[in-house]
């Protein structure tokens, strides 16, 4: 059996005197999808932000493909491998196409390949008609789909999605659910923090529960 994609060890995070969570060990296997469950305030978003290198003030360490790394000195190469999508994704004030191109440019992907991936991502998200639309004119559901497409186009090794269906209307939620189901079908390594029962019930998710400072992998 190959080594896990990511292993967290001894991760402790607190705010002041209050301990939010203490994770002895957690392995994220490549090609597996996880839904991260837990009550509000249990630290789901914080854990995702630690994994993404956005919160570097946590004790413990992580291994990525067997290579150790610290949270405080989060390696730049991990930023290319792990992509986090906010609960309320931010789209830059340019066109949709430029938004999708942003991370590809940062990775030095050649223009031709960039254009191909952008077009493919726009079609995947069903936003072909909105290619040149400024983000301010997109609906909440379209923004969420655009953010998913932007992250997927980067072909990250680990995709972290924070409450991707929250605050969406029925139509936006259904479209986002369909994209999530596709991500699962594509065998992407993904962790989705979520309360939405329809997302939780998607076939293929392993369930992680973060509650009272502990994380457990649940069967079923």
Residues that bind another protein (CB under 8 A): 52-54, 76, 79-80, 83-86, 88-90, 92-93, 102-103, 106-107, 134, 136, 150-151, 154
Report the 10 Å Cβ neighbour count for 107.
11
- Cα–Cα distance for residue pair 47/44, rounded to 1 Å: 5
Contact assessment for residue 141 and residue 173, using Cβ atoms and an 8 Å cutoff: yes
- Cα–Cα distance for residue pair 50/56, rounded to 1 Å: 6
Rounded to the nearest whole angstrom, what is the least distance from the CB of residue 197 to another protein in the complex?
27
Q: Which residues pair with 34 in a beta bridge?
A: 191, 206
Supply angle C-alpha 156, 162, 165, rounded to 5. Answer: 110
Which of 114, 202 has the CB closer to another protein? 114
Which of 149, 202 has the CB closer to another protein? 149
Which of 44, 150 has the CB closer to another protein? 150
Rounded to the nearest whole angstrom, what is the least distance from the CB of residue 172 to another protein in the complex?
19
Which of 50, 202 has the CB closer to another protein? 50
Rounded to the nearest whole angstrom, what is the least distance from the CB of residue 52 to another protein in the complex?
6
Rounded to the nearest whole angstrom, what is the least distance from the CB of residue 14 to another protein in the complex?
20
- What order do you get walking across the sheet with 18-28 strand by strand? 18-28, 6-15, 59-64, 67-70
Which of 28, 202 has the CB closer to another protein? 28
Where does 107-156 have alpha helices with state H? 111-124, 140-153
Contact assessment for residue 134 and residue 93, using Cβ atoms and an 8 Å cutoff: yes
- Cα–Cα distance for residue pair 60/71, rounded to 1 Å: 8
Rounded to the nearest whole angstrom, what is the least distance from the CB of residue 84 to another protein in the complex?
5
Rounded to the nearest whole angstrom, what is the least distance from the CB of residue 171 to another protein in the complex?
24
With CA atoms as reference, report the closest residue to 98 among 127, 131, 123, 143. 131
Which of 190, 202 has the CB closer to another protein? 190
């Amino acid at each position: 059996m190959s080594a896990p994609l990511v292993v967290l060890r001894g991760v402790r995070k607190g705010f002041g005197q209050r301990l939010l969570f203490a994770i002895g060990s957690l392995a994220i296997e490549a090609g597996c999808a996880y839904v991260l469950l837990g009550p509000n305030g249990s630290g789901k978003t914080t854990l995702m932000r630690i994994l993404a290198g956005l919160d570097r003030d946590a004790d413990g360490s992580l291994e990525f493909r067997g290579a150790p790394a610290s949270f405080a000195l989060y390696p730049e190469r991990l930023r290319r491998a792990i992509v986090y999508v906010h609960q309320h994704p931010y789209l830059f004030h340019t066109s949709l196409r430029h938004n999708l191109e942003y991370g590809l440019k940062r990775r030095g992907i050649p223009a031709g390949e960039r254009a191909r991936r952008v077009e493919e991502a726009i079609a995947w998200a069903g936003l072909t008609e909105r290619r040149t639309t400024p983000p301010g004119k997109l609906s909440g559901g379209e923004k969420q789909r655009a953010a998913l497409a932007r992250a997927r186009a980067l072909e990250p090794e680990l995709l972290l999605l924070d409450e991707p269906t929250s605050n969406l209307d029925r139509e936006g939620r259904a479209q986002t659910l369909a994209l999530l189901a596709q991500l699962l079908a594509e065998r992407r390594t993904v962790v989705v923090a979520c309360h939405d029962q329809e997302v939780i019930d998607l076939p293929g998710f392993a369930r992680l529960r973060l509650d009272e400072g502990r994380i457990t992998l649940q069967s079923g």
